[in-house]
């Protein structure tokens, strides 16, 4: 099944808003790696700190007037925020095969029933652990249908590839050869020094 982009289902889920939240997760990740790289740290201490700091960052952002589109739905340990009324949660997991406890648990703000299999009913930000400390994590925003199948997916930093929606092949455009000339060294020296003769 081809996955659509989140804003094709919910107009509130703009790429700019998703970028804002993903950048916050990336900043937290980089801060944790920078500060917790001692011999006393391990994946557990970094993971717990990452979760706690992301949770606090989202709460702070939701309470800030800088992000009027972001609100706090539930501020407990399984924090739920909303982007203009669309609820989401975040996890540090594998976006293709999530395994974290509570990942599929729905709360009162999730849409419980959908009219079809292409409609997402739960949304999750998923931060995938990088292979090593030199790499950044991959951050996804995924919408799942009522049977827990991903139907919409966006990745932070993803390069958008344009594709044709029909079979029409654009007409070829003839391009003239580039103008080539001999440089005049005297004029180049004058423009480099900013003086005119």
pLDDT, one tens digit per residue, over 19-40 is 999 999 999 999 998 899 899 9
**Is the predicted pLDDT of residue 189 greater than 70, yes or no?**
no
Domain total for the chain? Answer: 1
User: Helix %, strand %, coil % for the chain, to 5?
Assistant: 25, 20, 55
CA distances from 1 to 4, 117, 141, 155 (A): 9, 11, 17, 17
Angle CA(65)–CA(69)–CA(72) in degrees, nearest 5? Answer: 80
**pLDDT at residue 175, rounded to an integer:** 78
On whether residue 107 sits in a domain, the answer given is yes
64 or 194, which is more confident?
64
With respect to residue 57, please indicate whether it lies within any of the assigned structural domains: yes
From residue 10, give the alpha-carbon distance in Å to each of 57, 77, 119, 160: 24, 26, 10, 19
pLDDT score recorded for residue 32: 92
Give me the chain's average pLDDT, please: 83
Q: What are 103-123's pLDDT values in tens digits? A: 877 766 655 566 677 888 889
Helix axes 15-35, 43-63, angle to 10 degrees: 140
Stretch 56-67: mean pLDDT: 95
> Which residue would you say has higher pLDDT here, 130 or 88?
88
84 within some domain:
yes
pLDDT at 52: 94
- Report the relative pairing of strands 138-144 and 80-83 from DSSP bridges: unpaired
179 assigned to some structural domain = no
Q: For residue 195, is it within any domain?
A: no
Residue 147's pLDDT band (cuts 50, 70, 90): confident
Model confidence at 165, pLDDT cuts 50, 70, 90, reads low
Label residue 158 by pLDDT band (50, 70, 90): low
> Dihedral of CA 8/13/89/134: which sign?
positive
Give domain status of residue 36, yes or no. yes
Residue 104, in any domain of the structure: yes
The answer to whether residue 192 sits within a structural domain is no
Across the range 151-164, mean pLDDT stands at: 72
Question: Measured in Å, how far apart are the chain's first and last C-alpha atoms?
Answer: 68
pTM of the model: 0.73
At 197 the pLDDT is 46
The least confident of 6-15, 49-58, 105-114 is 105-114
Q: Find the domain containing 50 and state its range.
A: 6-155
Average of per-residue pLDDT across 125-154: 88
Residue 196 has pLDDT above 70, yes or no: no
């Amino acid at each position: 099944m081809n996955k659509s982009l989140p804003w094709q289902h919910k107009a509130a889920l703009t790429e700019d808003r998703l970028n804002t939240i993903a950048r916050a997760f990336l900043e937290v990740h980089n801060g944790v790696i920078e500060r917790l790289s001692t011999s006393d740290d391990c994946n557990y201490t970094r993971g717990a700190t990452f979760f706690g700091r992301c949770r606090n960052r989202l709460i702070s952002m939701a309470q800030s007037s800088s992000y009027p589109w972001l609100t706090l739905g539930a501020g407990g340990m399984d924090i739920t925020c909303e982007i203009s009324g669309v609820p989401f949660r975040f996890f540090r997991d594998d976006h293709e095969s999530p395994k974290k406890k509570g990942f599929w648990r729905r709360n009162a703000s999730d849409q419980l029933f959908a009219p079809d299999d292409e409609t997402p009913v739960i949304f999750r930000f998923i931060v995938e652990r990088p292979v090593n400390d030199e790499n950044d994590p991959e951050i996804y925003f995924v919408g799942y249908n009522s049977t827990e199948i991903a139907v919409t997916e966006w990745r932070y930093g993803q390069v958008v590839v344009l594709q044709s929606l029909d079979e029409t092949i654009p007409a070829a455009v003839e391009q003239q050869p580039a103008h080539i000339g001999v440089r005049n060294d005297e004029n180049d020296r004058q423009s480099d020094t900013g003086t005119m003769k």
